Amino acid sequence: MNNYQAVFDLALKLGCKPVFDAPMSTKTTFKIGGNAKLYIEVYKVPQLSVLIKFINENELSYIVLGKGSNVVVSDDGLDRVVLHLDGDFKKFERLDENTVYCGAGLSLMGLCREAENCSLSGLEFAWGIPGSVGGAVFMNAGAYGGEIKDVVYSVRHIDRDGRVGTIKSSGLNFGYRHSVYKENGFTVIGATFRLKLDNKTEIRNRMEDYMGRRKDKQPIEFPSAGSVFRRPEGNYAGALIEKCGLKGASVGGAQVSPKHAGFIVNTGNATASDVKALIKKIQTTVKKETGYDLQREIIYLD
């Protein structure tokens, strides 16, 4: 029995849903990528604790994938275990008047909607960001002047030995698209947020305003992985790319969005190789013509 089969059997025994050779093109917002060696839907914290401990003891590589909104999966697929959080990981709970807890598997838009229903403000900036709460915490997602770090009180995680722990906001080392979870290898399983009571109608109006701006300026009608590059100091990636005449440029089925040059879209048949080649072309051209080194925000999964 190989190690992957052992993980598969354990997942079944625990009540999870394991699948060999799962197509990652159906699991990411870019709609790109080969098959994952083993894909497992996990529903409860104890299941995830046991699996992570077992996977690490067997020296297998693994990732936890949320909505798949900030990644480019290799055309050759992933020789690793992909864990997807469902079930209890999508639960939302109001702890007191202005504090809520939700699982890492809940979509960020789902969290925004729950907060609105509770007349709680502070997450309006995240309405329309196509990721999970776990992914948003992991990378300190932000938009329109707001960031996750502004509203997170604490984060629950599972370490590589399967132990559950908590880190409060002061220890999360938040920065631009960064958190301590990019350093420690732990898996985010949920987060507590401190928000502010407000008028529900006003919260809804702000959310719709942000969504309107997204629809006007971002290519949400095409598959993409969101903003491709980190914001360079003193400038904007989209503006630099457009200045270099690359708006609308393409490699295969991957195209620099004619709507917003900070995005690369899948026009229908893009491959991961197409995307990577286009990113390299952008970086080389922008460096040569402007002197700026554009750093990727999206993550390559190979």
What's the average model confidence in pLDDT over 12-23?
A: 98
Average pLDDT over residues 131-160: 94
CATH T-level topology, domain 3-87: 3.30.43
Q: How confident is the model at residue 2 (pLDDT cuts 50, 70, 90)?
A: confident
What CA–CA distance (Å, rounded) separates 241 from 47? 45
According to the model, what pLDDT value does residue 130 have?
85
pLDDT bracket for residue 220 (50, 70, 90)? confident
Helix, strand and coil content of the chain, in percent to the nearest 5, comes to 35, 30, 35
Half-sphere exposure of 118 (CA within 13 A, CB side): 26
Averaged pLDDT, 81-100: 97
- Is 289 assigned a catalytic role? no
Q: Residue 225: in which H helix or E strand, if any?
A: strand 224-227
How much is the mean pLDDT over the chain?
95
Tens digit of pLDDT for each residue in 236-281? 999 999 999 999 999 999 999 999 999 999 999 999 999 999 999 9
- What's the distance, Cα to Cα, between the start and end of the chain in Å? 25
d(CA 31, CA 145): 29
Of 97, 129, 95, nearest in space to 113 by CA: 129
Q: What are the C-alpha distances in Å from 175 to residues 120, 150, 172?
A: 24, 11, 9
Spatial separation of the C-alpha atoms in residues 274 and 177, rounded to whole Å: 25
- Determine the Cα–Cα distance for residues 252 and 126; give it in Å rounded to an integer: 32
How much of the chain exceeds pLDDT 90, in percent? Answer: 90
Of 107, 132, 179, 227, the catalytic one is 227
Q: Give the pLDDT confidence score for residue 143 in this predicted structure.
A: 87
- pLDDT digit string, tens, across residues 94-116: 999 999 999 999 999 999 999 99
Q: Between these two residues, 216 and 265, which has the higher pLDDT value?
A: 265
Helix (H) / strand (E) element for 10: namely helix 3-14
Q: Which of 41, 124, 147, 297 is catalytic?
A: 297
Find the radius of gyration of the CA atoms of the chain: 20
User: Is 80 one of the annotated active-site residues of the chain?
Assistant: no
Indicate if 169 belongs to the active site: no
Mean pLDDT of 164-189: 95
Which pLDDT belongs to residue 1? 53
Comparing 36-45, 61-70, 193-202, which segment has the lowest mean pLDDT? 61-70
Sorted by where each begins, the domain ranges of the chain are: 3-87, 91-203, 219-301
pLDDT over 90 at 144, yes or no? no
Catalytic residue among 80, 177, 206, 214: 177
18-55 per-position pLDDT tens digit: 999 999 999 999 999 999 999 999 999 999 999 999 99
> For residue 215, what pLDDT is reported?
87
CATH code for the domain defined by 91-203: 3.30.465.10
pLDDT at 214: 87
CATH topology of domain 219-301: 3.90.78
